[in-house]
Every structure is written in C-alpha cells, then in structure tokens.
C-alpha cells in the first residue's frame, strides 16, 4: 500500500512536469528571445538565456514602429466595447434571469446561438455591413461589430451570475416597497459585482486579442489594432523575431494580469454554465 | 395583468440587445446568404446567378480537399485536446503541492492572444535558428533540420500541434470542474473494495465526467472547425493547399480573389453541421442553466 502511494506520487508529479514544460516552454522562449540582441537571435546555436540582456527589441518597437498607436487603438476599442456591452448585457441578463415572460426560452437560446456562431462564418457579412456604411478602415467599424462577440458572451455569463442570487433577497426588498428598477439597481447589480467585473474583463480580452475582423475591416495604418500591428511586422518572408517576440510579450501582459485576477471565475465562464 | 407588465418590462430591458443583434448580426447574415446566390465581387453590383456558386464549389476538387483537411484537422486536434485535457484534469485533481499555482500556469496558453501563440510557435519551428530543430538534433532524434511548415503532411502536424497547445487548458479546466463535484468517499470505498486505479477510472471517474467532457469537446469542435488564425498565420493554407481549411479558403476567395458571393457560399455550406453542433450545446446548457 505504502509503496503504491509513492509510485502514484511519482507518476502524478512526472506527468505534471511534462505538462508544465509543454505549456510554458513557448512562453519562456518568447520572453527569452525578446531580450536578446539580433546577433544572438540569429545564431545557429540558440542560447537558453540572453547572453547580454538587452531591451533593444522593445526600444525599436516603441520608437520605430507604430506600435504605440496600435496599442492605443486596441485599448480604446476594447474598453469602449467592453463597457457598452456590459451595460446592454446587464439589462438583458436581468430580464432573462429574474423575470418570467413570453419567449424567454427562445431568447436565451438565441443568445447562446449568437455566442457559438463562429467568426469564420460571420466575417464576410460583417465586413459588407461595415463597408456599406463607410466605416471600414476605421476603429469605429470595429466598435460597431465587436459587440457581436461580446454581448452574447457577456449576457450568457451574467445570466448565471444573476441566477445564483437567491430570489428571496429580491422578494424581501419588494415587500419593503422597493420597485423592480430599484431592486435591480441597488440589490442585484451590487451583489453580482464580482461577476460583472469578471465579465467586463473577459469582454475586454476578447476584443484585445481579436484578429480576423480587424484584418478584414482595417487596412489603413493609423487605425490598426495591436494584433494587426504584430502581423505587420512580418514583411514577406522576413521575420524580425526580436521586436515580434517583444510585441507578443506586450500584447500578452494585460490579458495575463487580468486573468490572474479573475481566474476563479474562468471555469463557469468557459463552459457556458454547463458545469453545475 | 402582472404577466403583461413583466412582458413589457422584460422586452424593454432586452431591447438594446435585441435591436443590436438583429441589426448587426441577423440581418447582415441574411443579406449575405442572399448574396451567395449572386456573382457579387468587391466593388461591383451583384447579379443573381442562382445556385452557380454552390455548383461551382461542389464541382471543385479544391473545395473537397478543403473539407477533408478541415475534418482531419478538427478530428485529430479535438481528440488530442480531450485526452491531454483529461490528463491535466486528473493531475490537478490530485493532492499536490501548490495546486492552484500549477492550475494557473497550465492555463496560460489559453489566455494569451492566439496571434501571439502562433508567432511564438512559428519562431520555435523556424528552420533558421529555430529551437525545435536544435533540440531534436541535440537529442539525435533527427539528423538534419526539418522544415516543419515545408511539406503538406508536416505543416498539418505543426498547425494541429499549435491548436492542441492552445486548447488543452479549456478541456482540462472544464473536466476538472466536473471531477471536483465527485464525492471523495466514493473513491475511498472503491479503494477499500480493492478496485485498482484503472478500474476506478473506467467505472467511476469516466462515467461521472462524461457529460461535461462531451459538452466541452463539442464546444471545442465548433471552435476548431472554424479556426482561422492559426492556419492562416502559419501557412496561409499551404504548402500546395495541404493545410487549406474551410475558413482560410473562404477568406482567400473573398478577400484575395474578391469573389464575396462564392466566399459566403462556402460559409453557408458549413452551416448544417455547425447548426447541429450548436443545437447540441444549447440543449445541454439550457437544461442545466434553467
């Protein structure tokens, strides 16, 4: 029995080690490359830690390229879209989770449909919509269509957060004379605040990481987002790996930080409430 | 009376969402479906051509090759993501030190932007200074550098590997959530009865996480079927269409050849299986979220 338990421990930790190496090696490699000089990067024998730690790739990135503009565009689009989406979704999610009305099942089903509908199917219709009203080549076009990603997602998330608030709390408030609107604004929303914050953050990261819609909608330099800025660093077959990896680190840092704050909400978030 | 007021209040609250989704998602999609029956190209008016786009596609061997590639890519990637996701969940469900730290670390590949993971892997695969070739040469597993994206078969392997790397955490965390609802006592009883680890896994663990595993796997399938970024950025569908999938073909025809009508026809042809999968997920999730 004792021997068995030790054997099991060895298997568990060995498997864990393999998984960790596989998951983290690319991230470590991105970090490692971004702090090397060009000469060191293109050396045929890769070094596993920068010989002379240099921030030259970052310097290049922030001075020679439009990367700061790309970052600003992504920030603006992601913040505005996440903010508007969360407001719209809060109202809708409240109705769906707390009110009984005709068509409720149909609408919640429609929202899930919209959430699962892949971008690869929607990108052409959305491109045509945006260009027909003259918003192509501008971040306003992205602001118009990104909520097709974030609103269904946020609504679905918020429905499960609101549902987890017991109906008795609301009923008690209404008996005390609170109106529906009052209970919604001063009881349900504050109680669900952590869930709302997490949903806001996820909505932000969805926009921040988006590539396909940005690729088809924006082709003009000044309005490009961070994902486009990164892919623009490849000219033909020439890869500037230093700045590319530095840019990748910069693009990853905000989402990783946000994720660390919200990781405990991640599970319910990902499985569309299927795990209960 | 009360229901009437509820109806009005509910639709009032939902109206911004409903108006937005109908105007920006449903109507443009309907319009696009109409355009798939025309010869619409970028910058020119559309002329109705009936089923021409569809017939063209169904007679095009490239389209069928693309369908096959998509199915292969999806099937292999989903199987590997599910298996390794299961392994990840089982390991994280054990009593290990720093479990939460490891959970967070193993989850990182899913959180970073797809485009970032693609570039990182592209650099790892590179035949000039790429670390994968270096390590395999050092370990004497290969005798000369391999062009990981140079031949159709290897390129397919390489794009699948990136997709699997990104997708394992989703499966892992979903299955882990299922595992954590299992009562510990059940295992202890089974262990006292002398059931071995393999037996316990097959007869106890697997049946109890079957539901959540299937749901997560179907969602993963929907996303994998429509993966664009990984393949487009790594191979552009090449070499010689060896990794061309439905989404990259649709993009190529729509935005490089500028035949929007035909590009939408591709998307429309992928809808029936897609709708089946989405229906499956909505049915399962709605019953548990109701």
Nearest CA-CA distance, residue A205 and chain B, Å: 8
* A107-114: average pLDDT: 91
Q: Tokens 């060896």 — which residue?
A: B242
Nearest CA in chain A to B91: A12
Please count the residue pairs, one from chain A and one from chain B, whose beta carbons lie less than 8 angstroms apart. Answer: 275
> What is the average pLDDT across A9-35?
94
State which of A16, A39, A57 marks the end of a domain: A57
Looking at per-residue confidence, does A1 or B28 come out higher?
Answer: B28
Q: Is the residue at A17 inside a domain?
A: yes
Task: Judge if A45 and A177 occupy the same domain.
Answer: no
Does residue A266 surpass a pLDDT of 80?
A: no
Tell me which residue range forms the domain holding A49: 2-57
| A128 and A252 co-located in one domain | yes
Tell whether A139 and A30 lie within a shared domain: no
**Burial call A121-138: b when 16+ CB within 10 Å, e when fewer:** bbbbbbbbbbbeeebbbb
What CATH number should be reported for the domain holding residue A69? Answer: 1.10.3720.10
Q: From chain B, pick out residues whose CB is under 8 angstroms from the CB of A251.
A: 112-113, 115-116
Tell me if B115 and A271 make a contact (CB, 8 A cut-off): no
Q: What is the mean pLDDT of residues B252-272?
A: 90
Question: Among A57, A86, A103, which residue terminates a domain?
Answer: A57
State the pLDDT at residue A163: 87
pLDDT score, position B203: 83
Residues of chain A neighbouring B129 (CB-CB closer than 8 A): 41-44, 46, 241
Most confident range, picked from A224-228, B37-41, B280-284: A224-228
Q: For testing the chain B interface, which of A22, A119, A125 should be mutated: the one with the most B CBs within 10 Å? A: A125
Amino acid A184: pLDDT: 87
Query: What is the per-residue pLDDT across A25-57, written as a single tens digit (0 to 9) for each?
Result: 999 999 999 998 888 888 778 888 888 888 888
Assigned token pair, B134:
């270096």
Mean pLDDT in residue range A170-177: 83
**Which pLDDT band holds residue A272 (cuts at 50, 70, 90)?**
very low
* Residues A6 and A74 placed together within one structural domain of the fold: no
Same domain? For A51 and A74 the reply is no
Judgement on whether residues A174 and A155 belong to the same structural domain of the protein: yes
With vertex at residue B172, the alpha carbon angle to CA B167 and CA B176, rounded to the nearest 5 degrees, is 160
**Residue B2: is its pLDDT beyond 80?**
no
What domains does chain B contain, in order, with CATH numbers?
A: 53-288 (1.10.3720.10)
Total domains in chain A come to 2
**Residue A184 within a domain:** yes
Q: Do residues A233 and B94 lie in contact, with contact meaning Cβ atoms separated by under 8 Å?
A: no
Give the DSSP letter of residue A44. Answer: S
Residue A276 lies in a domain: no
Q: What is the pLDDT of residue A276?
A: 33
Query: What length does chain A have?
Result: 276
Partner residue facing A124 (CB), from B96, B119, B264: B264
pLDDT band, residue A228 (cuts 50/70/90)? very high
Report CA dihedral (B227, B231, B237, B238) to the nearest 10 degrees: -150
Closest in A92, A129, A260 to B28, CB measured: A129
A275 within domain boundaries? no
Are A45 and A71 members of one domain? no
* Mean predicted confidence (pLDDT) in B85-108: 91
Structural contact between residues A145 and B21, judged by C-beta atoms closer than 8 angstroms:
no
Q: Residue A120 is nearest to which of B6, B32, B228, comparing CB atoms?
A: B228
From the list B115, B117, B177, which residue is nearest A271 (CB)?
Answer: B177
**The whole model's pTM is what?**
0.91
Within this chain, do residues A71 and A198 fall inside the same structural domain, yes or no? yes
pLDDT (average), residues B40-67:
88
Q: Of the ranges A207-216, B67-76, B139-148, B188-197, which one carries the lowest mean pLDDT score?
A: B188-197
**Is residue A150 in a domain?**
yes
Q: How high is the pLDDT of residue A273?
A: 45
Omega before residue B239 within 30° of 0, cis: yes
Residue A151 has pLDDT above 60, yes or no: yes
In the predicted model, is pLDDT for residue B26 greater than 60? yes
Maximum pairwise Cα distance, chain A = 75
pLDDT for the residue numbered A150: 95
Query: Do residue A274 and residue B197 have CB atoms under 8 angstroms apart?
Result: no
CA distances from A78 to A89, A92, A135, A155, A256 (A): 16, 21, 17, 17, 15
- Across the interface, do A274 and B284 touch by the CB < 8 Å criterion? yes
In this prediction, residues B61-84 reach a mean pLDDT of 96
Query: Please, what is the average pLDDT of chain B?
Result: 89
The verdict on A138 and A189 lying in the same domain is yes
């Amino acid at each position: 029995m004792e021997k068995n338990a030790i054997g099991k421990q060895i298997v568990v930790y060995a498997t864990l080690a393999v998984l960790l190496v596989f998951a983290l090696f690319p991230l470590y490699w991105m970090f490692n490359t971004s702090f090397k000089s060009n000469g060191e990067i293109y050396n045929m024998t890769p070094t596993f830690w920068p010989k002379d730690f240099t921030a030259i790739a970052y310097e290049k990135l922030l001075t020679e390229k439009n990367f700061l503009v790309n970052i600003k565009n992504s920030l603006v689009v992601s913040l505005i879209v996440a903010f508007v989406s969360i407001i719209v979704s809060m109202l809708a999610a409240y109705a769906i989770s707390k009110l009984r009305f005709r068509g409720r099942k149909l609408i919640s089903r429609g929202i899930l449909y919209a959430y699962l509908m892949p971008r690869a199917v929607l990108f052409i219709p959305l491109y045509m919509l945006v260009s027909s009203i003259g918003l192509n080549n501008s971040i306003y076009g992205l602001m118009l269509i990104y909520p097709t990603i974030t609103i269904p997602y946020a609504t679905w998330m918020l429905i499960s957060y609101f549902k987890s608030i017991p109906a008795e709390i609301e009923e008690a408030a209404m008996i005390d004379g609170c109106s529906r609107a009052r209970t919604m604004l001063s009881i349900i929303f504050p109680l669900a605040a952590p869930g709302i914050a997490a949903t806001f953050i996820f909505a932000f990261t969805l926009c921040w990481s988006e590539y396909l819609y940005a690729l088809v909608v924006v082709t003009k330099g000044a309005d490009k987002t961070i994902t486009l800025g990164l892919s623009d660093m490849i000219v033909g077959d020439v890869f500037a790996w230093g700045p590319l990896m530095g840019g990748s680190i910069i693009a990853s840092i905000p989402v990783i930080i946000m994720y660390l704050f919200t990781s405990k909400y991640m599970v319910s978030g990902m499985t569309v409430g299927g795990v209960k | 009376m009360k229901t009437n007021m509820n109806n009005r209040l509910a639709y009032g609250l939902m109206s911004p969402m409903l108006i937005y989704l109908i105007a920006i998602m449903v109507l443009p999609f309907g319009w696009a479906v109409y355009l798939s029956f025309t010869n619409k190209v970028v910058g020119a008016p559309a002329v109705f051509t009936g089923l021409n786009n569809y017939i063209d596609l169904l007679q095009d061997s490239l389209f069928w090759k693309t369908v096959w590639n998509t199915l292969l890519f999806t099937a292999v990637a989903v199987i590997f993501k599910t298996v390794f996701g299961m392994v990840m969940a089982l390991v994280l469900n054990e009593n290990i030190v720093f479990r939460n730290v490891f959970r967070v670390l193993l989850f990182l590949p899913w959180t970073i932007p797809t485009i970032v993971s693609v570039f990182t892997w592209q650099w790892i695969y590179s035949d000039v200074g790429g670390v994968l070739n270096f390590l395999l040469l050092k370990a004497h597993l290969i005798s000369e550098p391999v062009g990981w994206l140079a031949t159709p078969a290897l390129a397919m392997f390489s794009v699948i590997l990136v997709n699997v790397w990104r997708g394992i955490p989703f499966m892992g965390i979903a299955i882990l959530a299922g595992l954590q609802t299992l009562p510990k006592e059940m295992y202890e009883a089974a262990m006292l009865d002398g059931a071995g680890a393999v037996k316990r896994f097959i007869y106890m663990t697997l049946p109890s996480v079957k539901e959540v595993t299937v749901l997560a796997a179907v969602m993963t399938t929907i996303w994998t079927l429509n993966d664009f970024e990984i393949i487009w950025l790594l191979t552009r569908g090449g070499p010689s269409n060896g990794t061309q999938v439905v989404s990259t073909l649709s993009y190529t025809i729509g935005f490089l050849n500028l035949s929007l009508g035909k590009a939408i026809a591709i998307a429309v042809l992928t809808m029936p299986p897609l709708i089946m999968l989405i229906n499956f997920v909505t049915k399962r999730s709605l019953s548990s979220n109701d």
